[in-house]
Structure 1
Amino acid sequence: MAEIAIVGAGFIGLASAAWLMRDGHRVTLFDPSGVGQGASFGNAGTFAHYACIPVNNPSVFRDLPRFLLSSESPFRLRWRYLPHLAPWLVRFLMSSTPHRYEASARALAALLGHAQAGYGPLLAGPELQQFVRPRECLYLYSNGASFDAARRALDLRQKLGVSFDVLAADDIRQLEPALAPIFERGVLFSDSWHFSNPQGFLQTLFEHLAAGGLTLKRSTVSAVQPAADGASLVVEGGTQRRFDYVVIATGARSATFAQQCGDRVPLDTERGYHVRYPGATQLISRPVGWAERGFYMTPMSDGIRVAGTVELGGFSDTRNRSLLDLLTFSSKRALPGLDSPDSSWLGFRPTLPDGLPVLGRSRASERVIYAFGHQHLGLTLAGVTGQIVADLVARRAPPLDLAPYAAARF
Structure 2
Amino acid sequence: MAEVAVIGAGFVGLSCAYWLMRDGHEVTLHDPLGPGEGASYGNAGTFANYACIPVNNPDVFRQLPHFLFSSTSPLRIRWGYVPTLAPWLARFLLSATQRRYEASAQALAALLSRAFDGYREMLDDAAMHAFVRERECLYLYSSAASFEAARASLALRESLGVRFQTLEGDAIRALEPALAPIFARGTLFDGSWYLSDPRGFLQALHASLVRRGLTHVPAAIERIETGRNGVRLVDEAGSATDAQYAVVCAGAHSGSLARQCGDAVPLDTERGYHVRFPDTSNLISRPCGWAERGFYMTPMTGGIRAAGTVELGGFDAPRNRGLLDLITRSAREALPALPQPDSDWLGFRPSLPDGLPVIGTSRNSPHVLYAFGHQHLGVTLGGVTGSVVADLVAGRAAPLDLSPYNPRRF
Q: Shared topology, TM-score over 0.5?
A: yes
**2:286 — aligned with what?**
286
**Contact map agreement 1:15 1:122 (CA 8 A) in 2:** no
**1:206 — aligned with what?**
206
Which segments of 5 or more consecutive residues in structure 2 lack a partner in the other structure?
none
- Give the SS at the match of 1:282: coil
**1:303 — aligned with what?**
303
**2:31 — aligned with what?**
31
- Give the SS at the match of 1:6: strand
**1:112 — aligned with what?**
112
Q: Which amino acid aligns with 2:288?
A: V
Measure, in 1, the Cα distance between the counterparts of 2:219 and 2:339.
40
Measured after TM superposition, the shift of residue 239 of structure 1 is 2.0
Per-residue deviation, residues 300-330 of structure 1 (Å, max 9, x unmatched):
1111000000000000251000000000000
Per-residue deviation, residues 67-98 of structure 1 (Å, max 9, x unmatched):
10001100000000000000100000000000
- Give the SS at the match of 2:337: coil
Measure, in 2, the Cα distance between the counterparts of 1:257 and 1:168.
48
Alignment of 1:141 with 2:145, yes or no, is no
Measured after TM superposition, the shift of residue 283 of structure 1 is 0.4
Aligned-residue sequence identity (percent) comes to 64
- Give the SS at the match of 2:63: helix
**1:363 — aligned with what?**
363
What RMSD over aligned residues (CA atoms) do the two structures have, in Å? Answer: 0.7
Q: Which amino acid aligns with 1:87?
A: P
Per-residue deviation, residues 343-384 of structure 1 (Å, max 9, x unmatched):
000000000000000001111000100000000000000000
Measure, in 2, the Cα distance between the counterparts of 1:219 and 1:138.
39
Measure, in 2, the Cα distance between the counterparts of 1:234 and 1:84.
27
- Give the SS at the match of 1:281: coil
Per-residue deviation, residues 38-66 of structure 1 (Å, max 9, x unmatched):
00000000000000000001000000111
Per-residue deviation, residues 159-203 of structure 1 (Å, max 9, x unmatched):
000000000101001000000000000000001000000000000
**1:82 — aligned with what?**
82
Measure, in 2, the Cα distance between the counterparts of 1:300 and 1:122.
21
**2:266 — aligned with what?**
266
Measure, in 2, the Cα distance between the counterparts of 1:238 and 1:32.
14
Alignment of 1:197 with 2:197, yes or no, is yes
**Contact map agreement 1:261 1:362 (CA 8 A) in 2:** yes
Measure, in 1, the Cα distance between the counterparts of 2:331 and 2:236.
42
Q: Which amino acid aligns with 2:185?
A: R
**2:71 — aligned with what?**
71
- Give the SS at the match of 2:282: helix
Q: How does 1:247-266 map to 2 (within 5 A)?
A: 247-266=247-266
* TM-score, normalisation: structure 2: 0.99
Alignment of 1:384 with 2:384, yes or no, is yes
**Contact map agreement 1:110 1:400 (CA 8 A) in 2:** yes
Measure, in 1, the Cα distance between the counterparts of 2:44 and 2:112.
17
**Contact map agreement 1:275 1:341 (CA 8 A) in 2:** yes
Moved over 4 A (4+): none
**1:179 — aligned with what?**
179
Measured after TM superposition, the shift of residue 237 of structure 1 is 2.7
| Aligned residues between the structures | 410
Per-residue deviation, residues 108-157 of structure 1 (Å, max 9, x unmatched):
00000000011123223111101000000000000010000000000000
**2:159 — aligned with what?**
159
Q: Which amino acid aligns with 2:178?
A: A
**1:129 — aligned with what?**
129
Measure, in 1, the Cα distance between the counterparts of 2:344 and 2:270.
17
Measured after TM superposition, the shift of residue 289 of structure 1 is 0.2
Q: Which amino acid aligns with 1:408?
A: R
